[in-house]
Amino acid sequence: MQTIVIVGASLAGLRCAQALRKRGFAGRLVLLGAEPHAPYDRPPLSKQLLSGDWPESKLFFHAREQHAALELEQRLGQTAAGLDPRERKLLLASGERLHYDGLVIATGARPRSLQQAAGLAGVHVLRSLDDALAIRTALGAKPRVAVVGAGFIGLEVAASLRKLGLSVSVVEPQRLPLLGLLGEQVARSVWQLHVDHGVDFHLGRSVAAVEGAGRVERLVLDDGTRLDCELVVVGIGVTPETRWLEGSGVALDRGVLCDAKLATNVPDVVAAGDVVRWPNAAIGGEVTCVEHWSNAVEQGAAAAARLLDGEAAPAFSHLPYFWSDQYDRKLQCTGQVRPDDRAELVNGALDRPAFAVMYVRDGRVTGVLTSNAPAVFLRARKLLAEARSVDEARKTLA
């Protein structure tokens, strides 16, 4: 291969570029990014950057000099608009057609928007650096804030803004935050944590309308409640960014479908990061998408191996792992937890800062969540990787 193009100046895209160079690829290496920024770290956007604890500069992975050492041709602020696998051409929104010998799809995901708020100022999603900076700028006016969605992003935003002393209301269709992900016990513990810090919840409710004369002034909920607010942050999930691949022949199904080695159905095209769905042996071969930081790091390197080694590359598996910082709590979770898994408290107490919960399905441990218990979490990752029995897990985590 003489030219490899990576579409997506993301964490997965950067790690792929690093791995390609480390493995000896000496050809032309192009990193295409829709944002004007060099690759940066996203998790701090809803926490350290939003709260003002970190300057913008601290987010970036590498200095310009280190990117230059990769001999990386960065094409930032340029968007992919289509793909012609037969001609091995990438179509850019500018009209340029870029040749490739190998292609990496690392375009990640885009946030879902609140359709009722279309056209109103003061309503934000939080996915990019520019999103976070826009929200942070708006905080100077000390607005009343409504957060729509009590997933991890919404809750992290709520925690960051309460630390700044702002009034925060959270609207969530489920009866508890994170209920569908972590179960009743943990969800209630997380809810209580935020209530104790002054967050006003509207659970089991959805947004019926957004009112304002050019700028948001209030939310109207489905029960008629009217929430006055000057700033809305929407955290209702993401959609894999695959629009530019429609009609290309690349197999799509809620993401880019890949085999166990991260190859698509198109020759010399692989994928990495939030955009990928693949059969993950670490969770029994289930075809899944893992939208976590650690997965992006590992998949970037694995995609590079598949491009350079072909079918000789190993299959990629990943035991899901993520974390969330909220107030003084660090929540860490590993495994593949489902809403109907049985949750069992195995360490600490749910009304205290430190605890561990084990999830069980069909007589096996499917996941472990800890709060402020890093040593227990390390043991949890090891026992899940080794597929130990439920009884062994209880003893290990106690």
Question: At residue 258, does pLDDT exceed 60?
Answer: yes
* pLDDT for res 327: 96
* pLDDT for res 103: 98
* pLDDT for res 169: 98
Kindly state the average pLDDT of the residues 182-210: 96
Question: At residue 197, does pLDDT exceed 60?
Answer: yes
* pLDDT for res 64: 56
What letter does residue 112 receive in the DSSP assignment?
Answer: P
Q: Picking from 138-147, 191-200, 343-352, 377-386, which range would have the lowest pLDDT averaged per residue?
A: 377-386
Query: Which distant-in-sequence residues (6+ apart) come within 8 Å of 271 by Cβ?
Result: 104, 105, 106, 256, 258, 262, 264, 303
Pairwise CA distance, residues 350 & 366, whole Å: 20
Q: Per the confidence metrics, is the pTM higher than 0.75?
A: yes
Question: Which pLDDT tens digit goes with each residue over 301-357?
Answer: 999 999 999 999 999 999 999 999 999 999 999 998 888 899 999 999 999 999 999
DSSP H helical ranges for the chain? 11-22, 48-51, 64-69, 129-138, 152-163, 179-196, 293-309, 374-385, 390-397
Query: Is residue 398 very low, low, confident or very high in pLDDT (cuts 50, 70, 90)?
Result: confident
Question: At residue 65, does pLDDT exceed 70?
Answer: no
Residue 387 to residues 57, 161, 382, Cα–Cα distance (Å)? 41, 40, 9
Question: At residue 165, does pLDDT exceed 80?
Answer: yes
Question: Which pLDDT tens digit goes with each residue over 5-58?
Answer: 999 999 999 999 999 999 999 999 999 999 999 999 999 999 999 999 999 999
Question: Which pLDDT tens digit goes with each residue over 172-183?
Answer: 999 999 998 899
Q: What DSSP assignment string belongs to 182-195?
A: HHHHHHHHHHHHHH
* Percentage of residues in the chain having pLDDT higher than 90: 88
The amino acid present at 251, given as its one-letter code, is A
* pLDDT for res 201: 98
Pairwise CA distance, residues 295 & 297, whole Å: 5
* pLDDT for res 66: 64
CB contact at 8 A, 325 and 353: no
* Orientation angle between helical segments 390-397 and 374-385, nearest 10 degrees: 160
Pairwise CA distance, residues 358 & 341, whole Å: 9
Angle at 290 between CA 287 and CA 293, to 5 degrees: 155
Question: At residue 385, does pLDDT exceed 90?
Answer: no
What letter does residue 28 receive in the DSSP assignment?
Answer: E
Domains in the chain, start-ordered, CATH in brackets? 3-110+239-312 (3.50.50.60), 113-234 (3.50.50.60), 328-397 (3.30.390.30)
Pairwise CA distance, residues 123 & 293, whole Å: 26
